[in-house]
Amino acid sequence: MSESILTARGVIAGYVPGLPIVHGVSLEVAPGEIVTIIGPNGAGKSTMLKALAGLLHIDAGVVIQEGKAIGNFPTHDLVAAGLAFVPQTGNVFASLTIHENLVVGGHTLRGRLKERLSDAYALFPDLVPKRNDRAGTLSGGQRQMLAIARSLMTAPKVIMLDEPTAGLAPKLVMQVFADLRRLAERGVAILMVEQNARAALRISDRGYVLTGGRNFAEGRAEDLLADETLATAFLGARTPARKKAS
């Protein structure tokens, strides 16, 4: 693995100060790498992402981006520094047009807005004919596409996505994963939380398993997929489970 671009060590964070949900999680992502965080509900996966994105307070621990400690920086500074976050639900501005959504995504840009807009449209050409439609008129898959395109407006080095395929039809799930793979090939580091654990790991380079707000396991995606214990505990059975005689 190459030099990491985002490193977190012993992060303790939560919604209410003094009541942490994440109890000391460590992880790292390298440029061009897709890293997926999996784990049961309440494991602190989303909380961890939000803390890294500057949306929740980090009580303890270190977050380093390109050699610089960035823990608890305000979100707009993190976005400007190349750390983008795509929330899970309500991740587009429904009352704004597709174009306006992208403009908001580029809010921290000084100049270069036009250039970034044409870049985003080039990456997601399906959005071009709809640019003046309200985002509320888009389908679930198109919304996800727009949310990702919007996060790309600042030319981020790291994109963090909270369950990018939640609520999508299987075909669209594959589409979103293919889009993410495409971004990774451009050198963007991708850190995501996924319920579709097995499918996500198949397109990931590495994975982390969190339980109870702590690191439980980590490794190369194919190793995690092959691990029998993990598979039954966190990935859902690969084949219909053989029922034990009762």
By CB under 8 A, residue 111 contacts another protein: no
Q: For residue 216, give the nearest of 47, 50, 60, 43 by alpha carbon.
A: 43
By CB under 8 A, residue 240 contacts another protein: no
User: How many residues interact with another protein (rule CB under 8 A)?
Assistant: 28
By CB under 8 A, residue 88 contacts another protein: no
By CB under 8 A, residue 108 contacts another protein: yes
By CB under 8 A, residue 215 contacts another protein: no
Q: What is the 3-state secondary structure (H, E, C) of the chain?
A: CCCCCEEEEEEEECCECCECCEEEEEEEECCCCEEEEECCCCCCHHHHHHHHCCCCCEEEEEEEECCEECCCCCHHHHHHCCEEEECCCCCCCCCCEHHHHHHHHCCCCCCCHHHHHHHHHHHCHHHHHHCCCEHHHCCHHHHHHHHHHHHHHHCCCEEEEECCCCCCCHHHHHHHHHHHHHHHHCCCEEEEECCCHHHHHHCCCEEEEEECCEEEEEEEHHHHHHCHHHHHHHHCCCCCCCCCCC
By CB under 8 A, residue 137 contacts another protein: no
Q: Are 61 and 9 in contact (CB under 8 A)?
A: yes
**Separation CA 166–CA 212 (nearest Å):** 22
Q: How far is the CB of 107 from another protein (least distance, A)?
A: 5
Q: How far is the CB of 31 from another protein (least distance, A)?
A: 21
By CB under 8 A, residue 129 contacts another protein: no
By CB under 8 A, residue 186 contacts another protein: no
> Judged by CB under 8 A, which stretch of 28-36, 65-73, 147-155, 163-171 contacts another protein?
147-155
By CB under 8 A, residue 166 contacts another protein: no
By CB under 8 A, residue 12 contacts another protein: no
CA 202, 164, 146: angle at the middle one, nearest 5?
Answer: 125
By CB under 8 A, residue 44 contacts another protein: no
Exactly one of 12, 62, 70, 80 binds another protein (CB under 8 A); that residue is 80
Q: How far is the CB of 174 from another protein (least distance, A)?
A: 26
Choose between 190 and 201: whose C-beta lies nearer to another protein. Answer: 190
> Judged by CB under 8 A, which stretch of 2-10, 92-100, 125-133, 224-232 contacts another protein?
92-100
By CB under 8 A, residue 200 contacts another protein: no
Residues at the interface with another protein (CB under 8 A): 53, 55, 74-76, 78-80, 85-87, 90-96, 100, 103-105, 107-108, 113, 150-151, 154
